[in-house]
Amino acid sequence: MCRAKQCPPLRIIRFLLPILPYLLLSTPSSLCQDSANEGTIPRGDRAEISLTVRDSSGEPISAPATAKLYRDGMPVDNAATAHGRAFFVFRTLGSYTVIVEATGYKAAQKDVSVPVAMKFEVDVYLKREPSSNESAGVPGKPLLTPKAKEALDKGLQALGDNKPKEAEKFVDEAAKLAPGHPDVLFVQGVLYLSLRNWAQAQGVLEKAAQMDPGNARVLAALGMALTDQGKYDEAIPPLEKSLQMEAGGWETHWALGKSYYYHQQYDQALKASQQALTESNGKAPQIELLVAQSLTAVGRYDDAALTLRDFLKSHGDRPEAATARRWLDGLVKNGKIRRE
């Protein structure tokens, strides 16, 4: 069967905007400075990892840090950062892991795929270790500056009014005033999803998720961005984690069901898609196509045909109706069901 039609981006806006008051934020610190070594190493036919080590606010750390590069679990190189920057140049392509350590911070790592000889920008975020006289509880929320908050609020309002281009202007302004702020990163991700800029959405949402790995809605948004790009194997972990942390919404179950289906986890796809359909309460009847796909994949052909016929009976005027008819004819042609 063909893929079900991508869900409209506005479902993402409706799903994600209400969570902003609940984001946990970190305190901004040092200003960004580039290493004097940047750009001075000739690459030729070699690849380069340009590493920026950031604190929880998104700014490059001022403290010295050590970055180690591994390939297949074996150490390849190490470097000391200057103003939060370090560089690795190498010829062997493949999958690498960067591990960063700094005094007063928890160590962090990031996997990097290097398929071609080019420069790869990599950000690693470090969280401070609490000192003996600090509470180990949830950190307090820093406030956006009045101008940044005003710009972000206007961007949210424009998104809610389905004016993405106007929203882009205000969100860009907020990003200039508060770069690396988790609220801003999250809204940027929502904006890019609404504009169908899936790769850009993935980039900023990955940063937001790295800064706040316990935020279920950020993880859900990241999973949706990956699903919309067809990166189903990468989408499953953040979507699953999001649903483990909170009940989630039908949009998250739909994205997870789609990712399961194209990852050939058909039983899980059926369960997730059926839950999405039930929880959507008729808001997205096209989920029935994913249910029908999953039923077919697990060999329940009569149930798949019944689902498709019910869809055509209730929603025969929708664009997806042509796909439903084609799939139903295919089940008959392939001898899976009898023609009615």
Residue 339 CB burial class (10 angstroms; 0-12, 13-18, ≥19): exposed
Residue 111 gets which letter from DSSP? E
Contact 298, 270 (CB under 8 A): yes
Give the CB-side neighbour count of residue 27, counting CA atoms within 13 A: 5
Asked whether the CA dihedral 144, 148, 150, 154 is positive or negative, the reply is negative
Distance of alpha carbon 244 from alpha carbon 103, whole angstroms: 33
Contact 124, 111 (CB under 8 A): no
Which amino acid type is present at position 141? K
Domains of the chain: 10-24+146-333 (1.25.40.10), 47-125 (2.60.40.1120)
pTM of model > 0.75: no
Distance of alpha carbon 258 from alpha carbon 253, whole angstroms: 9
Question: By C-alpha distance, which of 248, 257, 244, 181 is closest to 221?
Answer: 248
Looking at the DSSP bridge assignments, the partners of residue 113 are: 95
Question: By C-alpha distance, which of 228, 225, 230 is closest to 242?
Answer: 225
Looking at residue 136, its pLDDT comes to: 43
Residue 77 CB burial class (10 angstroms; 0-12, 13-18, ≥19): middle
Per-residue pLDDT of the chain (340 residues; tens, 9 = 90+): 444 444 445 455 455 444 444 333 333 332 233 333 333 334 457 899 999 998 877 788 888 889 999 887 778 888 888 889 999 998 899 888 899 998 888 888 888 888 888 989 999 998 887 654 444 444 444 567 888 889 998 998 888 888 888 999 999 999 898 888 878 888 899 899 989 999 999 999 999 888 778 788 889 999 999 999 999 999 999 999 999 887 678 999 999 999 999 999 999 999 999 999 999 999 999 999 999 999 999 999 999 999 999 999 999 999 999 999 999 999 999 999 987 7
Place of tokens 């604190």: 55
- Degrees, nearest 5: CA angle 101-105-107: 40
Task: Give the DSSP letter string of 5-24.
Answer: PPPPTHHHHHHHGGGGGG--
Q: Give Cα 149 distance to the centre of its chain.
A: 24
Helix (H) or strand (E) holding 102: strand 94-102
The b-or-e profile of 268-277 (16+ CB within 10 A means b, else e) is bbbbbbbbbb
Contacts of 190 (CB under 8 A, 6+ apart): 12, 13, 16, 17, 159, 201, 221
Output Rg (C-alpha) for the chain, integer angstroms: 23
Q: How far is CA 11 from CA 19, 103, 141, 230, 279, in A?
A: 14, 43, 28, 18, 14
Contacts of 119 (CB under 8 A, 6+ apart): 43, 47, 48, 50
